[in-house]
A and B are shown apart, each in its own frame.
Chain A
Amino acid sequence: MFGTGLLKGLGVTLKHALETFEDDRESVPDRYKGSLDLGNNRKVIQQPIDQEGLLTIQYPEEKRLLPERFRYIPMLIWDSEKQEDRCTACGICAKVCPPQCIWIVRDSDENGKPVTRCSEFYIDAAVCMSCSFCVEFCPFDAIKMNHDYELAVYDRYPQLVYDMEELTVPLEYYAALWPTQYEEEQARRKEEEEQKRKQEEEKAARAAARQAAAAQKAEAGAGAPKRSAAELQALAKERAAQRQAQAQGQTADGGGDDDAAAAKRARMEDLKRRAQERARQRKLESGNGSS
């Protein structure tokens, strides 16, 4: 009969309408289940995969919970344990970046010799295509993807050209955004460090053995040895032990030495504050610039 198809279709819309209506009358509609209430009507919503009814999210009051792997604009990691930037200015990220929006200035010491540290690091966020290649290929875990996506400003330049200060975040911030990956990474880094330490020890031991051999030769040839082979070996052992103690001391520092911990916290807070300050400044500037 003519019209049955239409009626069938209307049945579907009616079903949708009723379902949504019913869902909305519940104390917690489907779309708010498992969401985080921030008060003031502000929510962070995690849409369950089996959600029915209304799917719309009332941005900006309501926001989606971002998955860990969400990528937007890169950030640079300040290693708050070691109190240093992780970046070594190796330049790999600038090389792999497809739109070439990373600009790095490698620092140099007072003699003009390049050092493994950058003095400037810019990312043009207006050009960045959020591909995350820089993160994938950085050998030092120094650059990661930030989740902060509300970056609108009135002017592109200079507001969207982020400098090092704006890009830098403390390690803890990264750990909070990317918990799973952070854990894996920490484990891997520990292991690598352990291996490196072992290698160095072996190297030292080998060097000591070589020295000892040379010393023996020298002894056989002419003059008195400065130190005997046994002495040298003992020395190497002692040094290794010292290094180990030092390393342990450093890790223990984090919890043990109150002063150091406080200093670290202060430094982190300072970093955060400065980043916020810059962001505010940027928004202000861009506001003035256009009005």
Chain B
Amino acid sequence: MKTALGNLDFADATTLSEALTLLASEPDRVPLAGCTDVYVGLNFGHIEKKRFVNIWSLSELRGISENADFLRIGALTTYTEMIESPIIAKFLPMMRDCARLIGGCQVQNRGTVGGNIANGSPAGDTLPILAVAEAMIIAQSLSGTRKIPFLSFYAGYRKTVLLPGELIVAIEIPKPPGAQWFRKVGTRAANAISKVVIAGLRGETVRLAFGSVGPTVIRARRTEAVLSSGGTIAQARDALAHDIHPIDDLRSTSRYRMQVAENLLSAFWDSTTPNQS
């Protein structure tokens, strides 16, 4: 059932401190960023919450910058902004590749990276990238700021460790060492919910993360260990069966997802192997 939207409470915040002050006294308010998840939920009656706070105009949460070691991406940065950013193109091209495949232009102009993270869907396409890049989530509330390693940000299916009153303000990403690779397999390029997503990093060591194959994003540690220590791709494919355990659901079977994940692993390895003919 469609929610009667007119009766819902909308509070407008124009600065970060205004938003944090409001959330401190009314932590049940749901932040509204680009609304590409929230309004899909509301239009389908999946959201019970009645009170919201608009954070879309907080300029403190926007912008992409870099220093010698890190990139910093504001939580409200849209997919379009990441696609157009020279900093992303230079240091995090897998994020640009990912952003280009999210929805159409209309969704890319509104959907934000902070929303993708906070929404916490296991099919969130940016999550495998943040997992291999070992990003830090910068979260802020009225009581202060903390840095949360992305790899411990999810406590379970769609459950984050954010505290009441806390907003994600930015993501800090150490400049990734090595070649980057991102692929997603879905039913249709633009609007598909992914069946399997992979992000890989190949430098001195190998890092791999998969989305849509478990309750949250998964780092494939055993597979990484095989490849980092000179093992063959066949051994790595065997190891992958111990790292991920996809389920059957409406969209695909577990066997299909496993096969796709293995094939993506091989494709990652082939396309990051230098000096191929």
- Please say whether chains A and B are actual partners in one complex: no
Residues of A within 8 A of B (CB): none
Residues of B within 8 A of A (CB): none
